[in-house]
Structures are given as structure tokens and as C-alpha cells.
Chain A
């Protein structure tokens, strides 16, 4: 009751303050909104936990409620202004993800992880691609496309369907304090797939470009550049990881803040370098901050003695980061898009979910996992979030004529998966017996 009262008071104060004329202080709105999201997120997260739902569902709901489509405490512009927090959160969570991957534990699960990855990639992307081809009539923007063009768009959908959300996965795992073979496999698959999806997507979008531009021919040189980017990213991540390990070992102060600063710097320097190379040397080279941070976290955990201290420092400040990230994600959920495209979005979400269940089951079966793991494995892979959206925005940039319509569908599918995914994952972790929370 108290929590609900607090939430109502927060909403009342916010509503009252924003109804008054705004003062001259720059950036006041950002500070205010950040405070509102943190406090409301905490309250509603607790409430969700009371209903045996994951807290991040609460955070998403708060964002949705406070966002431009319902209460309107945050406009679309405010959500954009707070975009830097999103980037910071994604890379920070990537640090956490890398740090949670312990080689010793993964080694035993490597076979399962590899088989499930292959299975998920083939089955999910194939099924969704096929569905889009067959249900083309539900996508008006493809009406004038040729067969091969429809296929290329379908491949894009299929590729994005494979992506999931390491941030949601880690948030739910941390909340449930889950540890064990099922958890390790789920985490390993999710993190590796995130990197794999970037590769797949680069290939898919190049294919699409070549098909959409009639004069173009299939050009595979981008694969070389991609390979180079990956090696560069991993190297950068390894160096940063060694640096972090050194700092953790020698200096004992403010490690958490340093990690936040590192995440921030990696994001900005990666983008900055890419922009600089493009503008001054006409060179297209993307350093992927996600890959760098996952590698850095992995290096600290597995190539130094500072792994547990590192994880401790990450966890010490992760909660405010998660709350802001997921509330902003909720605020960014485009309800208009969902309203317009709910038919195809529901279909794609359902097909994706079915394909995931089947692929996870088959993958687990093939690698000899216990049957009760295989039955619930699919539930751990339904989450989908930011990376997919980031990649989808690339489509808008490259194909402005139909990109927006594409993104609208993708956003709607992500919205559904983002709400359903964490709930399913929590249930899976509890059923696996590895979660330390009450069912």
C-alpha cells in the first residue's frame, strides 16, 4: 500500500510541477525525469516482484506509463535527449555480460551453447524469413517489390528475429540470483548471439542493398572489413580489460564509477572514430562498443585474478543503470506503431517464439541435455531489445523510402517480446531449479 501511495505522490508532484511555467535552469527536466524514473522504477519493480514477475517488467511498464503515449511526463524529445543514458547502459551491461562468462563453467556447456546457437540461428531466421515471404500481403510497403527484393526484406526480418537481449537476460539472472548449467548456457548463447547477429545483419543488409539497387552486383568485400572490425574490437576489448584488471588490483577506490566512465568512453570513442574515419579518410570502419565491452569484461573475469571484485563493482551500481535503461526502453516503446501493425507483429512474434522453442529443444536434445532443461529452454530466449532496434535504425538510414515502415513492424515485435520475454525467462530459471527466489 505504501508503495502505491508513494507512486501516486510521485505522479502527482510531477504532474503538478510540469503544469507550472518552466524556469530558466537548463537541463532541469532531465534531472527531474531521471529522478522520477529511478524512484517509480524502484516502486513498481517491487510491486512486480510481489506478483512474482521480473522487476524489469515493472521498469518497462513505468517507462510506458510515463512516456509520450500515456501520461506524457516524457516527450519524444526528452526520450531522445536521454539517449546517451541508453548507450551508456548498453555498454555497461555488456561489461557485466562479459564478466559473467566464466570459462571454467562455460567449458562444460560449450557443446550445448554451440549447438543451440546453430539451431536457433538456422531455425528462427529461416522460419521468420519464410513467414514474411508468405505473409507479404500484411506488409504494404513491399507491394511494389520483386520476388528477390521481398526475399531480401524477409531475410532482414529473419536476421533481426535471431537477436535477443543480453541486458534483459542479465537483469533477470541477477534478480533471481540464478547460477548453474542452465543459466550459464542461456547467458552464453545470448551474449554470443548478440555478436553473431551483428555479423549476420551486416551480411543481410549488404545483400539487401545489392538487390534493391538494380545496378549493383553482389559484393563480398564487406566481409573482409567486417572481419577486421571484429579483430580490432576484440583487441581493443582485451587491452581495456587488462587495464581494468590492473586498476582493480592496484587502486581500490571508485571502481564502479570508473567502470561507468569506461563504458561511456568506449561508446563515444567508437562512434567518434568511425565518424572521423568516414569524414576525413572516407573509410567505413565500425568499432562495435558492445563487442569491445563484452571482451573487456570477459578478459577481466578470465585473464586476471580480479574477476569477482570486478563483478562486485559492476553490481554495486548496476541497479540504477538497469532501471534507467529499461524505463527509457519502455518510454521508447512506440504504441502507435503497435496499433498500426499489431497483426503482422503478433504473427511474427508468435512464429519467432515457436521457432525458438523448437530450436532450443532440438539443440538441447542433440547435445544431450536433460529433458526438463530442453522443455523450458525456449523460454529463456524470447527477450528482445535494444540491439535489434539499433540495427533496424540502420535500415532506415540505408533505405529511407521504406525503412520507416520496416522499423514500425520491428518496433512492434520488439515491444511484444520485451514485455513477454523477461517473464518467460524468470519462469524458466525457476523451473530449472537454479533460481534462488520464490516461485
Chain B
């Protein structure tokens, strides 16, 4: 009974919250950004969780895991269904290259120190330390859209090309993180030591199959209710298959979404998109609440790790941006410190660490979640200001 009441309470908060959150409000930039990414819901979750009220205690949270699983699957498909190749060809290749390069550099910058930290300080097995470090790195590579959106209206005209570049990068670099994490989830130690390449193939195959299934089901004209049914069913089926096999529902449904975007009928794509977008906010808020509730803040040492994370991530973004712009002709006009505008964290980061928690529960996972959450809060406070300075030409 408690489970249902709490679930309903959380659902009502998510429902009402989706109306009032993720909008711009008049606050100092950093705080406005925190509101924009729904930070208050992490705190609501923390309040309801075992640290304070204990309404969302561990058994209740575990009983709500299917909802988290559905949420991850939903996010994966929502993200994937945007990648319509026909439209992507409008994006210059340089932009795509910059997106990939800065994401990879960031991942490297974060993975290296944390691999050494996890292996030497905590004495974890090599593979587990690698999984933890790479998951953290995958989460770090994602750039949030909120910080950029917050200052987008007040950008001088000459900076608009840079703004567009930053926006495009923030829209796409989550892909790198999701794929990276998806590959990590295929690691042998998560699958009874069977070879990773088999599970990579399985992830690909499942994503393809689910995508084709959804495309086939939506090939005939469906009314709104049937479209909702097929989308929820497809999302749950794809994500459920992935979770059942300890794979990443983010990746499997991302692939399914890409297939649907490129194979399905135009009308069907439109309908699928509408359904997925309808649930976007409520699901994300639900996520944030449940993540907050399960958040084991950890010891003082966590703060140290967060500092390492922030420093390494910032370094990665700055270096990645620097190298990318250096490779462009000088007349491109993009600032070398492009990375300053990429410090905001995105929702994909949360999704990745939640995914990690679903397939591998351990102290290390709790630490990774803590690092990302605190790191996210900290970076959201400063990222809009740094982005504004970059665009105003005052680094």
C-alpha cells in the first residue's frame, strides 16, 4: 500500500512539476539554471528518501525500478528518434567533427584519473574500476542545453554563429556518451565473463529488431490512442529486453529510435515524436526524484572526487574545444576557448548513471552517482556565466 501511495505522490509531483519547471525564471543566472534543469526535484527526492523522511525507502525504490527502467528506455528512444539522416546532412561535417572530438577528449580526460583512483585507492578489480571510470567519463561528455538556452536571447549578433555551434554540440554530444556507455554495459564482467563483442552484437540486433517492429506496426494508419499504445509498448519491450539481459536500454532504444527515424513513414514519425515528447518532462522529473531519493551522499572524500571530476571535465572540454577550433581555418571565427561554453551538464548524464545503477549495483556505482550529481549542481551554477563571457568575447 505504501508503495502505491508514495508512487502516486511522486507521480503527482512529476505531473504538476512538468507544468512549472524547465522554464526560464527571473533569478541570478546560476540559480535560474539550477531551476531550469529541475534541481529542485533531486532535492525533493532527497527529502523523501532514506536520508530524511524515508518515505521512499530502499524496498519502495526497488519496487519502483520498473518505472526507472521504462524512463531510461523512453529517454533512449526519444533521443534516438531525432537522428533522421536526411535532416542531419544539413549539419556541416565540421560541426559533427567538433562534437565528436570534444566529447572524446573529455571522456579521456575524466576516465584516466578516475581509473587510477578507483584501482589504486579502492583496490577494485581492473575491469570494475574501468567500468566505473568509463561510466563517469561517458556522463561527463554530455553537454546540457539549459545553460546555453538561458543566455541565448541576449547574445550579440556577431556571436550568433558560435552560439549555434554550441547549441548543435549540446544537442548531439549525448550520443557519444550513450554509445560509450552502451559499449561499457557489454563488458564481460557484467555478463558472466562472456566476450563483450557478443553483447555488442546483441545490443545492435535488439535495437534494430525493435526499431523495425515499431516501424512495421506504425506503417498502417493509427489513431492517437493506438499510437500511444505502440510507442509505450515498443519502448517498454526494447528497454525490457535490454535490462533483462543486463544491457543498456539507453543504447538499445537509441538504436531503435534511429531506425524508426529513418525507416518509418513520415506521418508515423510525427506521431511517435508527439507521444515521446509528451512524456519527456514528467519522466525526467520522476527520474530526478528517484535519483535524489536513492542518493547516498557519501563521505567527505566524495567532495574531493567531485573536485577531481570538475577539474578533469573542464580540462577535457577546454582542450577538446581548443583542438577542434585549431583544426579549422582561421576565418571560421570561432573562439579557441570554445570549451567554456560547454561546461553545462545534460539530462543524459543522469540517465547514464541511473543505467549503471540498474545493471551493476555497488558502492562504486553509488560513488559515481554522487560525483555526477554534485558535479552537475556545481557546474550548472557557473556554466551560464562562463558561456556568456565567451559569447561576449570576454574570456
Say yes or no: A32 contacts B11, CB within 8 Å.
Answer: no
**Inter-chain contacts of B5 with A (CB < 8 A):** 265, 268-269, 272
Q: In the complex, what distance in Å separates the CA atom of A20 from the CA atom of B202? A: 12
**Inter-chain contacts of A37 with B (CB < 8 A):** 233
Q: In the complex, what distance in Å separates the CA atom of A26 from the CA atom of B240? A: 11
A323 at the interface (CB under 8 A from B): yes
Known: A13-B241, A38-B233. A24 touches B360 (CB 8 A): yes
Q: A267 — nearest CB in chain B belongs to which residue?
A: B4
Q: B222 — nearest CB in chain A belongs to which residue?
A: A42
Interface pick from B63-71, B138-146, B378-386: B63-71
Interface of B is mostly: helix
**Whole-angstrom distance between the Cβ of A204 and the nearest chain B Cβ:** 28
B226 at the interface (CB under 8 A from A): yes
B224 at the interface (CB under 8 A from A): yes
One digit per residue, 1 when the CB lies within 8 angstroms of any chain B CB and 0 when it does not, for chain A 1-44 equals 01001100110010001101111111111111111111101110
**Whole-angstrom distance between the Cβ of A92 and the nearest chain B Cβ:** 13
Known: A25-B244, A27-B69, A319-B225. A42 touches B11 (CB 8 A): no
Interface pick from A98-106, A249-257, A349-357, A366-374: A249-257
| Other-chain residue from A5, A31, A43, A251 in contact with B240 (beta carbon distance below 8 A) | A31
| Other-chain residue from B232, B246, B358 in contact with A38 (beta carbon distance below 8 A) | B232
Interface size class of A (residues with CB under 8 A): 35 or more
One digit per residue, 1 when the CB lies within 8 angstroms of any chain A CB and 0 when it does not, for chain B 230-245 equals 1011111111110111
Known: A257-B15, A268-B4, A319-B226. A29 touches B244 (CB 8 A): yes
Say yes or no: A35 contacts B224, CB within 8 Å.
Answer: no
A261 at the interface (CB under 8 A from B): yes
Interface of A is mostly: helix
Say yes or no: A38 contacts B229, CB within 8 Å.
Answer: yes
| Other-chain residue from B1, B68, B70, B359 in contact with A272 (beta carbon distance below 8 A) | B1
Task: Give the residue among A10, A35, A272, A316 with the most B Cβ atoms within 10 A.
Answer: A35
Q: In the complex, what distance in Å separates the CA atom of A320 from the CA atom of B235? A: 13
B228 at the interface (CB under 8 A from A): yes
| Other-chain residue from A34, A275, A316 in contact with B224 (beta carbon distance below 8 A) | A316
**Inter-chain contacts of A267 with B (CB < 8 A):** 4
**Inter-chain contacts of A18 with B (CB < 8 A):** 244
B89 at the interface (CB under 8 A from A): no
**Whole-angstrom distance between the Cβ of A313 and the nearest chain B Cβ:** 12
Known: A31-B66, A32-B243, A268-B5. A319 touches B358 (CB 8 A): no
Say yes or no: B234 contacts A35, CB within 8 Å.
Answer: yes
**Whole-angstrom distance between the Cβ of B236 and the nearest chain A Cβ:** 3
A315 at the interface (CB under 8 A from B): yes
Q: A6 — nearest CB in chain B belongs to which residue?
A: B216
B159 at the interface (CB under 8 A from A): no
A109 at the interface (CB under 8 A from B): no
Task: List CB contacts (< 8 Å) of A264-318 with chain B.
Answer: 264-265, 267-269, 271-272, 275, 315-318
Q: A40 — nearest CB in chain B belongs to which residue?
A: B233
**Whole-angstrom distance between the Cβ of A426 and the nearest chain B Cβ:** 18
Q: In the complex, what distance in Å separates the CA atom of A92 from the CA atom of B241? A: 28
Say yes or no: B15 contacts A254, CB within 8 Å.
Answer: yes
**Inter-chain contacts of B226 with A (CB < 8 A):** 42, 319
Q: A12 — nearest CB in chain B belongs to which residue?
A: B209
B280 at the interface (CB under 8 A from A): no
Task: List CB contacts (< 8 Å) of B219-268 with chain A.
Answer: 219, 224-226, 228-230, 232-241, 243-247
Say yes or no: A36 contacts B237, CB within 8 Å.
Answer: yes
Say yes or no: B228 contacts A2, CB within 8 Å.
Answer: no
Say yes or no: B239 contacts A26, CB within 8 Å.
Answer: no
Say yes or no: A35 contacts B235, CB within 8 Å.
Answer: yes
| Other-chain residue from A6, A10, A33, A261 in contact with B8 (beta carbon distance below 8 A) | A261
Say yes or no: A25 contacts B359, CB within 8 Å.
Answer: yes
Q: B12 — nearest CB in chain A belongs to which residue?
A: A261
**Inter-chain contacts of A33 with B (CB < 8 A):** 240
**Whole-angstrom distance between the Cβ of A201 and the nearest chain B Cβ:** 23
B90 at the interface (CB under 8 A from A): no
Q: A31 — nearest CB in chain B belongs to which residue?
A: B240
Say yes or no: A34 contacts B11, CB within 8 Å.
Answer: no
**Whole-angstrom distance between the Cβ of B20 and the nearest chain A Cβ:** 10
B149 at the interface (CB under 8 A from A): no
B377 at the interface (CB under 8 A from A): no
| Other-chain residue from B11, B69, B228 in contact with A31 (beta carbon distance below 8 A) | B69
B361 at the interface (CB under 8 A from A): yes
**Whole-angstrom distance between the Cβ of B248 and the nearest chain A Cβ:** 10
A258 at the interface (CB under 8 A from B): yes
Q: In the complex, what distance in Å separates the CA atom of A268 from the CA atom of B191? A: 38
Q: In the complex, what distance in Å separates the CA atom of A203 from the CA atom of B1? A: 28
Known: A38-B232, A267-B4, A319-B226. A10 touches B65 (CB 8 A): no
Known: A257-B282, A268-B5, A318-B225. A31 touches B230 (CB 8 A): no
B312 at the interface (CB under 8 A from A): no
A84 at the interface (CB under 8 A from B): yes
Known: A24-B361, A268-B8, A275-B1. A17 touches B19 (CB 8 A): no
**Inter-chain contacts of A31 with B (CB < 8 A):** 66, 69-70, 73, 236, 239-240, 243
Known: A25-B243, A265-B8. A253 touches B233 (CB 8 A): no
Q: In the complex, what distance in Å separates the CA atom of A260 from the CA atom of B282? A: 14
**Whole-angstrom distance between the Cβ of B107 and the nearest chain A Cβ:** 24
Say yes or no: B216 contacts A17, CB within 8 Å.
Answer: no
B7 at the interface (CB under 8 A from A): yes
Q: In the complex, what distance in Å separates the CA atom of A39 from the CA atom of B231? A: 9
Q: B217 — nearest CB in chain A belongs to which residue?
A: A6
Q: In the complex, what distance in Å separates the CA atom of A275 from the CA atom of B206? A: 45
| Other-chain residue from A30, A36, A261, A316 in contact with B225 (beta carbon distance below 8 A) | A316
A-B contacts, 25 listed (Cβ < 8 Å): A6-B216, A6-B217, A9-B213, A10-B237, A13-B206, A13-B209, A23-B246, A23-B247, A27-B68, A28-B243, A35-B236, A35-B237, A37-B233, A38-B230, A38-B236, A43-B217, A257-B11, A261-B12, A264-B7, A265-B4, A265-B5, A315-B225, A319-B229, A320-B228, A320-B233
User: Which positions in A face B, CB cutoff 8 Å?
Assistant: 2, 5-6, 9-10, 13, 17-18, 20-39, 41-43, 84, 251, 253-254, 257-258, 260-261, 264-265, 267-269, 271-272, 275, 315-320, 323
Give 5 closest A-B pairs by Cβ, nearest first. A23-B246, A32-B240, A35-B237, A38-B233, A35-B236
| Inter-chain pairs besides A6-B216, A264-B8, 8 sampled, C-beta below 8 Å | A5-B216, A6-B213, A26-B62, A26-B358, A35-B232, A36-B240, A264-B4, A272-B1
